[in-house]
Amino acid sequence: MIVRNLEHPEVVRTRYLAHGGGIAHMLLTHPRLQTMMFLAHAVVPVGQKLLGHVDPMEEIYIIQKGRGLMQVDQDRREVGPGDAIHIPIGAFHELTNIGEEELAILVVAGLIPGEPA
């Protein structure tokens, strides 16, 4: 069993600026995971965004706290706590904090196609 949280020393060491507007930590990563690339936690401050980008893997964003405007390709929707957003491989995506509190999310990423499991 592997148990991680935001205070775990391995997780604390992974802190990074995510796509220009969020602070993220890797909770679990490949190769500890068998069929996924990573599970990350990110916080986007009020008025900030995870800048639009494209990834070579499938992702799911899970909104834990706050309100956001999520764009996946041309589709834009307001999202909030409990929402899970599927992001297909190669889809443009951007998340803007439109609320009055920080926006906290979990990001689940699948393996990059062609990468060994």
What pLDDT score does 110 carry? Answer: 94
Contacts of 82 (CB under 8 A, 6+ apart): 63
Which percentage of the chain shows pLDDT scores above 70?
98
Do residues 8 and 26 make contact, with C-beta atoms less than 8 angstroms apart? no
Greatest alpha-carbon span in the chain: 42
pLDDT digits (tens, 9 = 90+) for 48-90: 999 999 999 999 999 999 999 999 999 999 999 999 999 999 9
Do residues 81 and 51 make contact, with C-beta atoms less than 8 angstroms apart? no
Do residues 17 and 88 make contact, with C-beta atoms less than 8 angstroms apart? no
Backbone angles phi, psi at 85, to 5 degrees: -115, 120
Do residues 109 and 86 make contact, with C-beta atoms less than 8 angstroms apart? no
Rounded Cα distance, 101 and 59, in Å: 24
52: tokens are 């639009």
Q: What is the pTM of this model?
A: 0.93
Average pLDDT, the chain: 95
What pLDDT score does 117 carry? Answer: 64
Q: What class does CATH assign to 9-110?
A: mainly beta
